[in-house]
Amino acid sequence: MTSWVCLDSGVVLKLVLKEEDSLQAKGLWQQLAKENRQLTAPQLFSFEITSVLRKNVYRSVITPEYGLSALQKLMRLDIRLLAVPDIHVKAWQLAERLNRPAAYDAHYLALAEYVGCEFWTADKRLYHAVAEKLPWVRWLGEFSG
């Protein structure tokens, strides 16, 4: 494993949204910063962040002003969005191998596998579906700080 860590958008969104495990996300973020870990995500990350925040505004969970401010804050975080050769093909193959219905999450898995790093997700179902085959996948719910 490298000093890199791949984070999914769900973990990072919890830094600005009040959700059940937001405190764990903040704790994980602080620990990774303290360990001077290099953070990464696939380019899909920016689109997911934008979409989720906009959906929260649309559903009146957050105000438009807060949504835009949160988006700007998250886009300034030191998370390197990496373009991996053939990531779409690798994501497809992982989704197929792991019997996943969609390939969004598989892009994160493909990137983490390519870089050789841990992948932290807030998606409990994804974690339980892949953790046995991919021991470098971590679930936010198991973080105790």
Pseudo-torsion of CA 39, 45, 49, 52, nearest 10°? -130
Q: CB count, 10 Å around CB of 130?
A: 23
Which pLDDT belongs to residue 2? 60
> Percent of the chain having pLDDT more than 90?
94
Which pLDDT belongs to residue 145? 73
pLDDT of 70 over the 80 cut: yes
Q: Domain 4-42+79-142's class?
A: alpha beta
pLDDT of 18 over the 60 cut: yes
Contact 120, 6 (CB under 8 A): yes
The label of the residue with tokens 């994501």 reads 91
Which pLDDT belongs to residue 144? 87
Residue 107 pairs in a beta bridge with none
Q: How far apart are CA 71 and CA 10, in angstroms?
A: 13
Domain ranges across the chain: 4-42+79-142
Average pLDDT, the chain: 95
DSSP state, residue 34: H
Would you call 119 helix, strand, or coil by DSSP?
Answer: strand
DSSP state, residue 145: -
- Give the mean pLDDT of 77-86: 94
